[in-house]
Amino acid sequence: MNHYDGPAVKRDDKGKLPNKRDQKYEVCGKAYAVTGAELKMGANVNARAVFTININSVAKSAPVWNRASGGNLKNTKYLFVTMIIKKEANRHMKKIMGSFSPPKE
């Protein structure tokens, strides 16, 4: 998944995509900027599970995770990650993982 260049991104007057840094899309009448995140992910909102592969940037991936988790990232019960690319992202993920509580089921 690339959170840019998608079909929901508003095109310019000529129907072309703007530069990534200028891209926006609309959800329920509210405009959002693309995050530029590049990741492979899936989500099961009912199970409150997010699955990701190849994380380059936690800061850019988190907004996508939030939307995939039904808009309530704190309600995520399971976060499956198979590979984190950058050292900085590893530090952030360690901090995030420390904030999760194991399920009581």
Q: What is the pLDDT of residues 2-33, one digit of tens each?
A: 778 888 899 999 999 999 999 999 888 899 89
For residue 105, the one-letter residue type is E
Better-predicted residue by pLDDT, 62 or 21: 21
List beta partners, residue 38. 2
Q: How far apart are the first and last CA of the chain?
A: 31
Q: How many whole angstroms separate alpha carbon 75 and alpha carbon 55? A: 21
39 to 68, 84, 103: CA distances (angstroms) = 13, 10, 26
Better-predicted residue by pLDDT, 48 or 100: 48
pTM (predicted TM-score): 0.44
Is residue 58 within 8 A of residue 96, CB to CB? The reply is: yes
Q: What is the pLDDT of residue 1?
A: 63
% of residues, the chain, pLDDT over 70: 83
Place of tokens 């990741």: 39
Is residue 49 within 8 A of residue 75, CB to CB? The reply is: no
Write out pLDDT tens, residues 74-98. 778 887 877 766 777 777 777 877 7
Write out pLDDT tens, residues 34-46. 877 676 777 787 8
Is 105 a residue whose pLDDT tops 80? Answer: no
